[in-house]
Structure 1
Amino acid sequence: MKRLTLSLLLVVLVAIAGLGWSISELASVYSQDQDRPTSAAQLAAVKRLGESLARALDDDLQQSQLTAVSWNRHNPEQLSFTELKAFALPPSLEPGFLAGEPLVLESDEGISLHYHLPHTQRVLSISTGLQFPEQESGVDQLFTVLFYAGIVLILLLWVSPLIRSLVNLSRVAQAFGMGQLEQRVSPGRISYIAPIEQEFNRMADRIQQLLEDNKLLSRAVSHDLKTPIARLRFGLEALEEVQSDSQRQRYLQRLGRDLDAMEELVALLLQYARLDEANITPDWQKVSLVQLVEQCVAEHQDTEMTIRFEASCRDREVLADPRYLKMQVNNLLSNALRFGRQQVVLSTSNADQRLWLHVDDDGDGIDEAERTKVLKPFVRGRQSRGNAGHGMGLAIVARIAQWMDTPLEIGQAPQLHGARLSLGLKPAS
């Protein structure tokens, strides 16, 4: 909205100042192009001339007639004399005229000025052929119309992108409300409401993600929980018929394992559901990546596989929430241990202004066509069939990476030829 307000003020100021200056310059050029003064100036000059002639020609009748003939021969304004008695004058104008006020009349031939000569009781008439200045104001009206039309045009040019953006936003919002969750606003090259459009797209992404998560959780509950529940039911039924203590003990152990599997799945579901950006306030800290990874490696040393950590940047720190960063590293390490055969190698490198943590295994790797899919909850690649797990490890890492700005990339390990999972971390300044 700040951009919208500033642009509106700027457009209005530029329109008024710039257009006003342009129209003023155009009017001055037009005035300079005129070879004669305006009618108003000419009429004022004729009035002053008439007053002088009225005083000069009010004494000698014969001389005044000769002067008028000579004047009419050389000037466009024509002089004439009329006896006061023969000069038809409305009663309302007579007092002022006799007191010396000039009488200005207009006809089809133009403006005429009449002066009372009190000594000779005559009327001096001057025919000019001019028109009243109001008839010449069409040019001023034209410039005024141009000024306001220019302001309207500039405002229309300014407001048209805003109208298009609002119409587009309204259309997308209506389609999104009708269930087309893939609809997003495409900002134009000129958009005054770009922050609103971006917020709408982020809101739409969150709503779509929440709905997809709900669908995934529903499918997981309906599918992944059915198997351990069915085994529990079968085990309880079989337990009622078993007489041997040793066999009863084996069934109880199976029931315990099924309960552990259910508890693990529920814990994963709750953990993934809590990883919502709106519900998390990261505790950003400067974290020693090497120390954190070494702690995670030490926690997984009870496995039969070999785990090596080759740190090339031991003194580097990253900006992260240590709790969630450790969750990411543990999930990546658990995934590598689950699908590797004999060894897992962790390493670090610098690239693209980030500190990258690589987790390599010597398993079958992840097909390139499946590298995007396995980041979704409960999705397992072709190579993971037959292995334990629910397909939630990488989904949790990707969800944390989404709001912590730590991109997760999947590739092939250059030496072990299995999968390489790379986590890009922001170096601490």
Structure 2
Amino acid sequence: MKKLIVSLVLVVLVTIASLGWSISEFASFYHQEDDQPNPANQLAALTLMGTGLAKTLDNHQLQSQAFLTSWNQHNIEQLALMGSVEFILPPTLKAQFDTDKFLMLESDEGISLHYLLSSTGQVLNITTPLIIENDSGLNLNRLYTMLFYLGVVLILLLWVSPLIRRLINLSQATQAFGMGELQQRIAVSKTSYIGTIEAEFNRMADRIQQLLDDNKLLSRAVSHDLKTPIARLRFGIEALEETQNPQLKIKYFQRINRDLDTMEDLVMTLLSYARLGQGDIPLNRQTIELNAWLQNKVLDHDDGEHQIELLSIPQAVTVNVDPKYLSMQMNNLLSNAQRFSCSHIRVSLVVEHQVLWIHVDDDGQGIDELEAMQVIKPFVRGKHSRGNMGHGMGLAIVDRIGLWMGSKLHISRAPELGGARLSLAFESCSISDSAV
């Protein structure tokens, strides 16, 4: 929205300044190229001259005809003297002429000025080919004004048209999404004025679709995974009611407790995943040094059955994360490696192209490339994990945490051990030159 406001203000200011300057320069150039004198000024000067000439001829009658002949030979404006009786006018103009002693008449051939000589009773006529265009300055001003506003409107339309198209696309995508087309997204352009709004719409759509998909998965998985322990509980209670053997009762009680533990573990896993799905959990970020932190984490998971090897780096590496959720990620990765490895697990810390990687490799059967995107979904297991304990939620939790904490999960094949490689990538880290 900030980009939209700034661009709108800039377009308006630049449009007004550039169009105003261009029209002003054009008008100045137009008037500079016009070498002809202003007809209105010429007529005013001629009228003033005629007034003085009429007074002179009225007071000095001698040689007036010779003066007129000489004038007419050297000037385009022609002078003539005639009797007032011969100067025939309509009554209204006649009365005006007698009062003002001056009359100006205009025709297609030009303009004629008439002066009444009171002493001699004659009329001085001055004819000129000048033609005055009425309101020429006003017409030019109107033309320039119309050009200015037309230019402003055109430029604003050019600016607004992409915005209108983007808004129409946003409206259509919103309507389609509301009608159930959850895959509807908007192609965000870097030059879009509402790119932030479009990106927020896409994030909202992704979030809603993810929530709906999670609800479907959780509903199917819960109904499936809870059926087995509930059925075992029912059979155990029925068997407990029917037997009178104290040893069998103890055995049945132990089985019921195990089934209850399984159900409790499933419910706690579901609650944890649902809580992580909210995405608004406050992170208590702290700066931790990974070499020492991973060493403690490996020692905590030493079960005596698997060889866990830690490959650290000589430099001190620090990341800014929430230790609680990073520990949750590593616990799931190490537990997954212990569950599917044969005997050897390797945890390595690597820095490649300013990206910090924590690799957890095992020597098990690994995860197929086609299954890599499926096993991060809740309650989805790979083909090699069937028959093992667990609910298929570990990697889903690791992936969910990585999305909003910046420690993304990547699944590949361990290059040396041959099993699965589960990696966490940190794009923001600090590496010091001092040895650990």
TM-score (norm 1): 0.92
2:191 corresponding residue in structure 1: 190
Q: For residue 9 of structure 1, report the CA deviation from its aligned partner.
A: 1.5
Which digits, 9 at most, give the CA deviation of each residue in 1:155-199, with x for residues without a partner?
111111111111111111111111111111212453111111111
Q: For residue 267 of structure 1, report the CA deviation from its aligned partner.
A: 0.7
Which digits, 9 at most, give the CA deviation of each residue in 1:2-48, with x for residues without a partner?
22122111111111111121122222222233331233333333334
1:211 corresponding residue in structure 2: 212
Give the number of aligned pairs. 428
2:411 corresponding residue in structure 1: 410
2:13 corresponding residue in structure 1: 13
Separation in 2, partners of 1:145, 1:405: 57
Q: For residue 98 of structure 1, report the CA deviation from its aligned partner.
A: 4.1
Is residue 397 of structure 2 the alignment partner of residue 396 of structure 1? Answer: yes
1:136 corresponding residue in structure 2: 136
Is residue 78 of structure 2 the alignment partner of residue 78 of structure 1? Answer: yes
1:353 corresponding residue in structure 2: 354
Separation in 1, partners of 2:425, 2:237: 48
Greater mean deviation of Cα atoms: 72-81 or 316-325: 72-81
Give 1:213's aligned amino acid: D
Separation in 2, partners of 1:424, 1:267: 27
Structure 1 residues 264-413: aligned runs within 5 Å:
264-276=265-277, 278-313=279-314, 315-413=316-414
Query: Which runs of no fewer than 5 residues in structure 1 stay unpaired?
Result: none
2:156 corresponding residue in structure 1: 155
Say if 1:348 and 1:35 are closer, same or farther in 2 by CA, change over 3 A. same
The 3-state SS of whatever aligns with 1:160 is helix
Separation in 1, partners of 2:192, 2:211: 29
Give 1:43's aligned amino acid: L
In 2, are the aligned partners of 1:79 and 1:126 still within 8 Å (CA)?
A: yes
2:434 corresponding residue in structure 1: none
In 2, are the aligned partners of 1:97 and 1:115 still within 8 Å (CA)?
A: no
Q: For residue 349 of structure 1, report the CA deviation from its aligned partner.
A: 0.7
Which digits, 9 at most, give the CA deviation of each residue in 1:128-176, with x for residues without a partner?
3333343534554433332222111111111111111111111111111
Separation in 2, partners of 1:220, 1:260: 17
Which digits, 9 at most, give the CA deviation of each residue in 1:59-111, with x for residues without a partner?
334533333333333333333334446453765995797456x5444333333
Give 1:427's aligned amino acid: C
In 2, are the aligned partners of 1:286 and 1:428 still within 8 Å (CA)?
A: no
Greater mean deviation of Cα atoms: 285-294 or 258-267: 285-294
In 2, are the aligned partners of 1:161 and 1:190 still within 8 Å (CA)?
A: no
Q: For residue 116 of structure 1, report the CA deviation from its aligned partner.
A: 4.0
The 3-state SS of whatever aligns with 1:374 is coil
Give 1:50's aligned amino acid: G
The 3-state SS of whatever aligns with 1:154 is helix
Give 1:46's aligned amino acid: L
Separation in 1, partners of 2:259, 2:383: 25
1:427 corresponding residue in structure 2: 429
In 2, are the aligned partners of 1:87 and 1:123 still within 8 Å (CA)?
A: no
Say if 1:140 and 1:310 are closer, same or farther in 2 by CA, change over 3 A. same
2:3 corresponding residue in structure 1: 3
Separation in 2, partners of 1:320, 1:97: 105
Which digits, 9 at most, give the CA deviation of each residue in 1:225-275, with x for residues without a partner?
111111111221222222322222222222111111111111111001111
Separation in 1, partners of 2:382, 2:119: 123
Give 1:400's aligned amino acid: I
Give 1:134's aligned amino acid: N
Separation in 2, partners of 1:93, 1:8: 64
In 1, are the aligned partners of 2:318 and 2:430 still within 8 Å (CA)?
A: yes
TM-score (norm 2): 0.90
Separation in 2, partners of 1:339, 1:93: 123
Give 1:60's aligned amino acid: H
Separation in 2, partners of 1:93, 1:183: 87
Which digits, 9 at most, give the CA deviation of each residue in 1:343-376, with x for residues without a partner?
2110101123222111111111111111111111
Structure 1 residues 48-127: aligned runs within 5 Å:
48-61=48-61, 63-84=63-84, 86=87, 88=89, 98=99, 103-127=103-127
Separation in 2, partners of 1:197, 1:388: 44
Percent identity at matched positions? 55
Say if 1:92 and 1:104 are closer, same or farther in 2 by CA, change over 3 A. closer
Greater mean deviation of Cα atoms: 83-92 or 251-260: 83-92
2:32 corresponding residue in structure 1: 32
Separation in 2, partners of 1:224, 1:122: 126
Say if 1:120 and 1:224 are closer, same or farther in 2 by CA, change over 3 A. farther
Greater mean deviation of Cα atoms: 174-183 or 273-282: 273-282
